[in-house]
Chains A and B, each alone.
Chain A
Amino acid sequence: MKFPRNIPLLALCLVFGGLLWQALLQMPPHPGLLASVDHRLEESGVSHGVTAVLLNFRGYDTLFEIGVLLLALISVWSLPDDDAREATPPAGLVKTAYLRVMGPLMLVFAGYLLWIGSRAPGGAFQAGAVLAAVAVLMQVSGHSRGEKRDTVWFRCALAAGFLVFTLVAFGCVLRGAAVLEYPAGKAGGWILAIESAGMVSIGLVLAELFRGHAPAILQPGRRK
């Protein structure tokens, strides 16, 4: 057994753990910001507190969260590839059958998650994650060679979420309002537009992060 490899470190971590437990258990009950969120919930355009915070009250954080997704994708794509990993696995029987049944169901479910996000847990990130899961299933079962990634439309789709969110957020300034201050009464529609573009982008970016290697047109030395 190689555990524990480093006994002083283990002792330090256990002491830290004990202090952490003590600190956490001593925290008094506190409602947090629930009252503040509920107070302005009708103006936010959605009726679920978490979605309102994510896309309205703290929308700036979400904007840069989508930016971080793109940044990670650019980082992964700018590293050279190991040639051995570009081969796609052969199409498996069980995985293909599973994909045939679950793929359409997951697509419908992603649409449902996007729509229900205004009233219940859901929204762009959850729907995007389900879309990414469909793409990962396709990659793992050998049905995704990645040739369509060479088009400019693919890169537009990857950037669409961040682009739409930035345009809407800073476009509010053109009306004389602050950044991300949606028009009164129409916030729900703008949030839905942002979330729809975001869902597509997030799903594609996560799927590409899983694939790990850049499309052929972007790889050095192979530019057509």
Chain B
Amino acid sequence: MNSATLFLLTGGFLVVVGLYHLLGVPSVFRKILAANVLGAGIFMILIALAARQPDVAPDPMPHTMVLTGIVVSVCATAVALKLICRLHAITGDDELPERGEPSDGKH
């Protein structure tokens, strides 16, 4: 197993970890962290896919996609964190209301 394969599998593992926590954890802040882990896994997979041929230079296209992706994911995380701050300021809570519960805050 060469290093590209190792990064490929590690990226896949991170994707699964991020996906499970994004969908399964009720805390919104932990969902954002899980989304970042998911993104890191996808970036790792992209970079590993760029280095599939062992003796040739890596493909520059996935590298640029990852660079753009990192910046966009940082922006999305920033907006999401600000929204979490607002959620916490309005409801004092870290979780979104369940189906059927009133969604006006208990301040």
Binding site for B on A (CB under 8 A): 5-6, 9-10, 13-14, 16-17, 20-21, 24-25, 27-34, 37, 49-50, 52-54, 58, 61-62, 65, 68-69, 71-72, 75-76, 79-80, 82, 85, 125, 202, 206, 209-210, 212
Contact = CB atoms under 8 A, between A and B. Distances in A.
Main SS of chain A's interface residues? helix
B96 interface: no
B16 A25 contact: no
B60 A53 contact: yes
A25 B5 contact: yes
Nearest to B89: A82
A71 B31 CA distance: 22
A209 B83 contact: no
The size class of the interface chain B forms with chain A is 35 or more
A208 B67 CA distance: 20
Given A27-B52, A50-B67, A125-B71, A17 B12 contact: yes
A135 B88 CA distance: 26
A13 to B, nearest CB: 4
B33 interface: no
Contacts of B48: 24
B61 A76 contact: no
Contact of A125 (B5, B54, B56, B67): B67
A5 B68 contact: no
- Give the most central of B20, B49, B56, B85: most A CB within 10 Å: B20
Contacts of B78: 72, 76, 209-210, 212
Contacts of B89: 82
A117 B41 CA distance: 26
9 contacts: A10-B20, A20-B16, A24-B49, A37-B60, A50-B63, A68-B71, A72-B79, A75-B79, A82-B85
Interface string B39-66: 0000001001110111011111111100
Contacts of B100: none
Given A32-B52, A50-B60, A50-B64, 10 more contacts: A9-B20, A13-B16, A13-B19, A28-B52, A31-B53, A52-B60, A53-B61, A76-B78, A82-B86, A82-B89
Given A65-B71, A75-B82, A76-B82, A32 B63 contact: no
Nearest to B45: A24
A210 to B, nearest CB: 8
A117 to B, nearest CB: 11
